[in-house]
């Protein structure tokens, strides 16, 4: 299979992910390729990138422990933005395209839960609970998918 066909297939798979997530949450912004800048082909929630298509591959932002787990299981590799150093919370997905939507949903939940709120101890505790719940939900989805 040629690289052009692979890129086209990846773009179609990513378009399905975009359509689903934009329908599920009004706070999700679809990619804006007309910008031509970094993040122009990215899904964002509240202005923060959580999933993007880079060189025909899905890249998602997940908790560090989840990234490490997915790397160990061969479902992804750490993302390097071209600076020679992998980013700890970013994963290039090597899982089949049918797993993309689940991973993108997990990334969406992670980034949405990590939104800065008021800097009170109560809001930090709430954020920690939300992140923990997002991790539990994602782990259950991954186990159900296998």
| Segment 40-68, tens digit of pLDDT | 789 999 889 999 999 899 999 999 999 99
Report the pLDDT value the prediction gives residue 40, as an integer from 0 to 100.
Answer: 75
- This prediction has a pTM of 0.74
Output the pLDDT for position 2.
Answer: 42
Q: Tell me which DSSP letter residue 34 carries.
A: G
Q: Strands 48-54, 28-29: parallel, antiparallel or unpaired by DSSP?
A: unpaired
pLDDT at 125: 66
pLDDT for 119: 42
Determine the 3-state secondary structure of 78 from DSSP: strand
If one counts the domains in the chain, the total is 1
Q: Which of 44, 52, 48 lies closest to 100 in space, CA to CA? A: 52
Going by C-alpha positions, the residue among 89, 93, 77 that lies closest to residue 14 is: 93
With contact defined as beta carbons under 8 Å apart, do 75 and 99 qualify? yes
């Amino acid at each position: 299979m040629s690289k052009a066909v692979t890129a086209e297939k990846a773009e179609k798979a990513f378009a399905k992910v975009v359509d689903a997530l934009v329908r599920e949450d009004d706070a999700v912004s679809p990619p804006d390729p007309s910008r031509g800048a970094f993040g122009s082909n990215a899904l964002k929630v509240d202005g923060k990138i959580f999933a993007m298509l880079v060189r025909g591959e899905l890249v998602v932002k997940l908790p560090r422990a989840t990234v490490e787990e997915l790397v160990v299981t061969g479902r992804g590799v750490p993302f390097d933005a071209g600076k020679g150093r992998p980013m700890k919370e970013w994963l290039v997905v090597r899982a089949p395209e049918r797993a993309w939507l689940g991973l993108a949903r997990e990334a969406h939940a992670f980034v949405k839960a990590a939104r800065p709120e008021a800097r009170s101890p109560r809001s930090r505790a709430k954020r920690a609970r939300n992140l923990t719940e997002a991790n539990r939900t994602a782990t259950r989805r991954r186990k159900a998918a296998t």
